[in-house]
Amino acid sequence: MIIVTHQAEQHQFIYQQEGEQAHLRYRHLDANTVEAFNTYVPPALRNAGVADKLARAFYQWTRSQSLTIVPSCSYIEVWLSRHGE
């Protein structure tokens, strides 16, 4: 099971396993808009759905906060075209 943690102070969602850390990083552009600018999954964690879980957690959080997403990260841009906005 993949459990994603939101580290609000660091503006990121993370997943950790066996010393490896995957992340999705964002920044607030204004009170209503966040930019997803970096998603990274280390090679040891790839092909296990980790990036998808990070994107889903981020998307659910933005919806719960009524935030608009600006995707400057290519993974999030593609993910949103398939699953979100």
Q: What is the pLDDT of residue 40?
A: 98
**Statement: residue 85 has pLDDT above 80:** no
| Domains of the chain, residue spans | 5-83
Cα-based distances in Å from 4 to 29, 45, 75, 85: 23, 13, 17, 21
CATH topology for 5-83? Aminopeptidase (3.40.630)
Q: What is the pLDDT of residue 2?
A: 80
CA–CA gap between residue 33 and residue 50 (Å, rounded): 24
The residue type found at 57 is: A
SS (H, E, C) 23-78: EEEEEEEECCEEEEEEEECCHHHCCCCHHHHHHHHHHHHHHHCCCEEEECCHHHHH
Instruction: Give pLDDT tens digits for 36-65.
Output: 999 999 999 999 999 999 999 999 999 999
Instruction: Give pLDDT tens digits for 5-31.
Output: 999 999 999 999 989 999 999 999 999
